[in-house]
Amino acid sequence: MPKDHAAPEDEYFHREEQEKLARLRAQAEAEKAKAEREARKQAHWHRCGKCGGEMHTKAFKGVEIEICDDCGAVLLDPGELETLAGQDQGGVFDTIGELFNFSKRKREG
């Protein structure tokens, strides 16, 4: 094969190999991030965010909430505060909800 044809072929295969490596790196990084999220979840599963104590699920007014036996902290899942407190006439819950959504977007962004 003449020399002038070898260079474009070498460039093509080099570029293909680099793209393949980039895809493999991205896949490995995604798998690593997923494994880290799972490990973090397992380390903190049913643990209190304040003291690290174990959280226990209890029924309260028809809603299952998590309560820390050590410090008494209460964890409410999305929508549970509204269910327990009833209709908000002053917009307080909307404001609190917007604050939590803003904080979540800020962490994700």
The answer to whether residue 97 sits within a structural domain is yes
Q: How many Cβ atoms are within 10 Å of 67's Cβ, its own excluded?
A: 16
Average pLDDT in the 7-26 region?
93
Task: Assess whether 12 and 34 both reside in one domain.
Answer: yes
Task: Assess whether 37 and 73 both reside in one domain.
Answer: no
pLDDT in tens, 24-77: 999 999 999 999 988 887 777 788 888 888 899 988 888 888 989 889 888 888
Are 24 and 37 in contact by the 8 Å Cβ rule? The answer is no
Task: Assess whether 99 and 65 both reside in one domain.
Answer: yes
pLDDT over threshold 70, residue 108: no
User: Which phi and psi (to 5°) does residue 99 adopt?
Assistant: -60, -45
What is the domain range of residue 74? 55-108
- Average per-residue pLDDT for the chain: 79
